[in-house]
Amino acid sequence: MSGHEVVVVTGASKGVGRAVAERFARDGARLALLARGRQGLERTAREVERLGGVALPLPTDVADYDAVDAAAAATEEALGPIDVWVNDAMTTVFAFFEEIEPEEFRRATEVTYLGSVWGTKAALERMRPRDRGAIVQVGSAMAYRGIPLQSPYCGAKHAMKGFFESLRSELRHQRSGVHVSMVQLPGLNTPQFDHCRSKMRYKPMPVPPIYQPEVAADAVHFAAHHRRRQIYVGAPTVYTILGERIAPWLGDWYMARTGVGSQLTEQPIEPPREGNLFAPVDERRDAHGDFDQRAHPRSAVLWASKRRRQLAGSVLAGAAVAAGAAARLRT
């Protein structure tokens, strides 16, 4: 891992994108920061510089491929060849599906899903000729299991997973040196619950248990430097994925009973809250939302995932010792 690697982060003004930028900055990375809001990007850039990185804020609407490609070109001209590209930008509408207008659903999909596709395309066009580089898709447990009130986001994350699997197969077929990975996340304490559009009468919140965005950033950083297919963060992510594979009907029943209430606080808001769906909202926010008191700063699942080879070796060694002891008892 080089302290001078060039990293592009989309959705870098707040939330997970901000936390990811800060994590790479601690390595001294040169970071291109992409998001729509100029003021939020400038705040992230100042923090990146404070932490020892180099920041290039590039106001960009990731739903526009030409704008994303231009940002990639500007990154390489200013900072050098791109080593890592992180697709994190998202937006959504918290509402029952029948209350979401077609243009709202389209916009959420274009940012969250097509934004990742366009970022991947811009990165690959530069990485493929060099036959190296890493692209990290910031996914979610909701790439496997849809939940109520988030049909645009869940649909986009499912689509991202399908795109990711198709692309990985193609790159392996072509024996490419470019690596693509996906990080599947649980509920996170980020500002999206303050700045995404909502049509609910109460402020939305992440599904508990909640994790801090730095946990997600650690997973993204690890994925960028280790050739893993997927990284899971948080026990709820693992339970969700396993449950969907074993008994999807049970997930339907459970989400019908608990999914709406578990995503709403007791804090009333006046619907509809416009949010950042069509234009950036300049809230003075960083990576964190309003749930610091409830958010976990670490994930045992991520810890184990990062050490799976050592843990597997320990299990095998333990099994060998147990087998040896059993053999001695029989003699």
**Tens digits of residue pLDDT in 220-242:** 999 999 989 999 999 989 999 99
Of the residues 65, 113, 144, 153, only one is catalytic, namely: 153
Strands (DSSP E) contained in the chain are 6-10, 30-35, 54-59, 84-87, 93-94, 134-138, 179-184, 187-188, 197-198, 202-204, 210-211, 230-232, 264-268, 295-296
Domains, in order of start, for the chain: 6-298 (3.40.50.720)
Nearest alpha-carbon partner for 195 in 292, 288, 60: 288
Q: Would residue 202 show up in a list of annotated catalytic residues for this protein?
A: no
pLDDT for 325:
41
pLDDT band, residue 322 (cuts 50/70/90): very low
Tell me the per-residue pLDDT of 273-297, one tens digit each, with 9 for 90 and over.
999 999 988 777 789 999 998 999 9
pLDDT average, residue stretch 110-137: 98
